[in-house]
Amino acid sequence: MNLPSLKEAKVRTNKEIKIINNDYIVPKSMKTIGKDKKYYIKTYGCQMNVHDTENIKAILEDMSFTETLDMGDADLILLNTCAIRENAHNKMFGFLGRVKHLKESKPNIICAICGCMAQEESVVNAIKLKYKWVDIVFGTHNLHKLPFILEESLKEKRQEIEVFSIEGDVYENIPVKRDSKYKAWVNIMYGCDKFCTYCIVPYTRGKQRSRLHKDIINEVETLVKDGYKEVTLLGQNVNAYGKDLKIDYTMSNLLEDVAKTGIDRIRFVTSHPWDFNDEMIDVIAKYKNIMPYIHLPLQSGSNRILKLMGRRYTKEEYIKLFNKIKEKIKGVSITTDIIVGFPGETLEDFNETLDVVNTCKFDSAFTFIFSPREGTPAANMKNNLTDEEKNNRLYMLNELVNKYALENNKKYLGKVVPVLLEDFSEKEGSLMGYTDTMKLVNVETDKKYLGKIVDIKITDVKTWSMDGKIDKKV
């Protein structure tokens, strides 16, 4: 048993990060353990978790399990959890209730918990004490060890908790079963060292560690050969890519090399404004296959709150960067993340956030009420607002964000834009996809266009999506 430790999760040393190429194996005894058995996996959280789930699926299939989308039909139920806000916690514990109910009639079901909540000391202690029926808990640093953890749990018939709070290494050669045939997630770095005072991620994902660029390029080249049209480079802080490798190779170099693989579309998330430099902007502007879309989290428009958050930029610096990006990258769309109700946020601070939204007129924004995360500095800062005040601020902010989202979308009306039609739409007889600027478009069309980048004429726009039709010239 290895339990997570909050104290250890905070540590950052100069220890060299190892690139480990041969740590993933399935022992012979486990190769057919899943024969005639099904797994069900539920994923919460960010793209990083979604991609981890793609790895976990491939690992399970290496053990002969097959996937089911019906939890009631599963022999193995996995929950890949997120810890970013309290509601993510509530969702998981709610879900566990349903699994427990199933287990009462089918006691042989194996229940496993992984992801960011599995890295939280208090959560795992609660599982150990009150959820003894949960069979396996494993963390974000050792998901590739799942075959061994499962083997141990089956052999010993006891709750198996294997979570490490180490700074972390980089594991290559973990298999992947991708959800899409057209667009792929590609990790370029793991962890985060920014330690924004409200955020749990540096504790749940460990130290920032970049993959070697040759491994990333190899992966993208394979995707191109396999017919993929789009890659999204993933990291909590992609602009800081390479800084930990102590070699002279940065995010702008990586973007340029990925662009040269010839893949049709390149995206990347997330960009911290702090590390966004001019070279990056120039490379994005230069290559047609790097999409003109940037997610640039603001968090707050008040310098006082930004300082308390540990974001290390001012509102003025943010706006300057925003304007530079808009100026240099033709037609770029920019979205953001904003937190309201951070401890000590006055009405004046909040109004400053609204001011920045009025200045930047974002294409869209994810907005959140501050949620205290145990172990982070902001969790100990004094809350000065009632829930009603926080909800009011969120409401006001959303109204403004939505107004600009619609205004921006209206500029697309009647225009012809390229869309990668990646899936069936919720609307009958339609496909859905995204413009290069990351606008969701529903297109009433034949499924023969699935997986293709097609010129679409925009016929209607809403706040969150657009409708379009195939442009006649195609």
CA distance 249 to 16: 17
**Least distance from C-beta 275 to ligand F3S, angstroms?**
18
| Interacting residues with ligand F3S between 346 and 385 (CB under 6 A) | none
Handedness of CA 252, 258, 259, 265 (dihedral sign): negative
Please work out the total of residues on this chain that contact ligand SF4, with binding judged by CB under 6 A: 10
Among 33, 92, 149, 201, binds ligand SF4 (CB under 6 A): 201
CA distance 90 to 123: 11
Using CB under 6 A as the binding rule, whether residue 236 contacts ligand SAH is answered as: yes
Please work out the total of residues on this chain that contact ligand F3S, with binding judged by CB under 6 A: 13
Handedness of CA 309, 312, 314, 320 (dihedral sign): negative
Partner whose footprint covers residue 276, from ligand SAH, ligand F3S, ligand SF4, none (CB < 5 to 8 Å by kind): none
Stretch that binds ligand F3S, among 40-48, 152-160, 248-256, 452-460 (CB under 6 A): 40-48
Can you tell me which residue has the tokens 């009306």?
Answer: 413
**Least distance from C-beta 237 to ligand SF4, angstroms?**
5
Which one, 91 or 205, has the nearer CB to ligand SF4? 205
Using CB under 6 A as the binding rule, whether residue 51 contacts ligand SAH is answered as: no
| Interacting residues with ligand SF4 between 321 and 380 (CB under 6 A) | none
Using CB under 6 A as the binding rule, whether residue 209 contacts ligand F3S is answered as: no
**Least distance from C-beta 239 to ligand F3S, angstroms?**
17
Residues 6+ positions from 402 with CB-CB distance below 8 Å = 463
Angle at 288 between CA 359 and CA 248, to 5 degrees: 85
Partner whose footprint covers residue 202, from ligand SAH, ligand SF4, ligand F3S, none (CB < 5 to 8 Å by kind): ligand SF4
Among 119, 142, 236, 336, binds ligand SF4 (CB under 6 A): 236
Among 45, 235, 341, 343, binds ligand F3S (CB under 6 A): 45
Handedness of CA 129, 91, 46, 149 (dihedral sign): positive
| Interacting residues with ligand SAH between 366 and 385 (CB under 6 A) | 368, 370-371, 373
Stretch that binds ligand F3S, among 42-50, 54-62, 391-399, 422-430 (CB under 6 A): 42-50
Using CB under 6 A as the binding rule, whether residue 204 contacts ligand F3S is answered as: yes
CA distance 111 to 137: 9
Site string for ligand F3S, 78-117 (x = CB under 6 A): ----xxx------------------------------xx-
Among 49, 55, 237, 435, binds ligand SF4 (CB under 6 A): 237
Q: What phi and psi, each to the nearest 5 degrees, are found at residue 438?
A: 70, 30
Using CB under 6 A as the binding rule, whether residue 338 contacts ligand F3S is answered as: no
Partner whose footprint covers residue 339, from ligand SF4, ligand SAH, ligand F3S, none (CB < 5 to 8 Å by kind): ligand SAH
Using CB under 6 A as the binding rule, whether residue 195 contacts ligand SF4 is answered as: yes
Which one, 119 or 236, has the nearer CB to ligand SAH? 236
CA distances from 269 to 82, 331, 444 (A): 17, 19, 29
Q: How many residues are there in the chain?
A: 474
Site string for ligand SAH, 328-357 (x = CB under 6 A): ---------x-x------------------
Using CB under 6 A as the binding rule, whether residue 194 contacts ligand SF4 is answered as: yes
Using CB under 6 A as the binding rule, whether residue 397 contacts ligand SAH is answered as: no
Partner whose footprint covers residue 85, from ligand F3S, ligand SAH, ligand SF4, none (CB < 5 to 8 Å by kind): ligand SAH
Among 202, 341, 433, 451, binds ligand SF4 (CB under 6 A): 202
Residues 6+ positions from 254 with CB-CB distance below 8 Å = 188, 213, 216, 233, 241, 242
Using CB under 6 A as the binding rule, whether residue 199 contacts ligand SF4 is answered as: yes
Q: Point out which residues bind ligand F3S (CB under 6 A).
A: 45-46, 48-49, 82-84, 115-116, 200-201, 204-205
Q: Point out which residues bind ligand SAH (CB under 6 A).
A: 84-85, 198-199, 201, 236-237, 270, 272, 297, 299, 337, 339, 368, 370-371, 373
